A and B are shown apart, each in its own frame.
Chain A
Amino acid sequence: MQFGIFSVGDVTTDPTTGRTPTEHERIQAMVAIALKAEEVGLDVFATGEHHNPPFVPSSPTTMLGYIAARTERLILSTSTTLITTNDPVKIAEDFAMLQHLAEGRVDVMMGRGNTGPVYPWFGQDIRQGIPLAIENYALLHQLWREENVDWQGRFRTPLQSFTSTPRPLDDTPPFVWHGSIRSPEIAEQAAYYGDGFFANNIFWPKEHFQKLIDLYRERFAHYGHGTPEQAVVGLGGQVFMRKNSQDAVREFRPYFDNAPVYGHGPSLEEFTEQTPLTVGSPQEVIEKTLAFRETFGDYQRQLFLMDHAGLPLKTVLEQLDLLGEEVVPVLRKEFAKGRPAEVPDGPTHAARVAAQQAEKTEEVAK
Chain B
Amino acid sequence: MSTLKLAVVAAGLSVPSSTRLLADRLAEATARDLRDAGRQVEVTVVELRELAREIADNLVTGFPPPALREAVRAVEEADALIAVTPIFSASYSGLFKSFVDVLDRDALTGKPVLIAATGGTARHSLALEHAMRPLFAYLRAVVAPTAVFAASEDWGATGADGSLAGRIARAAGELAELLAGRPAAAKVVEQVVPFEQQLAALRRS
Contacts and interface: CB of A to CB of B under 8 A. Distances in A.
Interface residues of A, number: 32
Interface in B157-205: 190, 192-196, 198-199, 201-202, 205
Contacts of B15: none
Interface in B42-89: 56-57, 59-63, 65-66
A275 B111 CA distance: 32
Interface residues of B, number: 20
A215 interface: yes
Interface string A216-249: 0001000100000000000000000000000000
| Chain B facing A: main interface SS | helix
B61 A185 contact: no
B194 A188 contact: yes
Contact of B62 (A188, A191, A203): A203
Nearest to B60: A265
A203 B61 CA distance: 7
B62 to A, nearest CB: 7
Contacts of B202: 131, 134-135, 153-154
Nearest to A190: B195
Interface string A137-153: 01000000000000001
Nearest to A189: B195
Contact of A211 (B190, B194, B199, B201): B190
A184 interface: yes
Nearest to A274: B65
Interface in A119-147: 130-131, 134-135, 138
A205 interface: yes
Contact of B192 (A154, A204, A219, A275): A219
A206 to B, nearest CB: 11
Contacts of A185: 192-193, 198
Interface of B: 56-57, 59-63, 65-66, 190, 192-196, 198-199, 201-202, 205
Interface of A: 130-131, 134-135, 138, 153-154, 184-185, 187-189, 191-192, 203-205, 208, 211, 215, 219, 223, 261-266, 270-271, 274-275
Given A134-B198, A134-B202, A154-B205, 18 more contacts: A131-B198, A131-B201, A154-B202, A185-B192, A185-B193, A188-B195, A188-B198, A192-B195, A192-B196, A203-B62, A203-B63, A204-B62, A215-B190, A223-B195, A261-B61, A262-B61, A265-B61, A266-B61
Give 6 closest A-B pairs by Cβ, nearest first. Answer: A265-B60, A192-B195, A266-B57, A265-B57, A184-B192, A204-B63
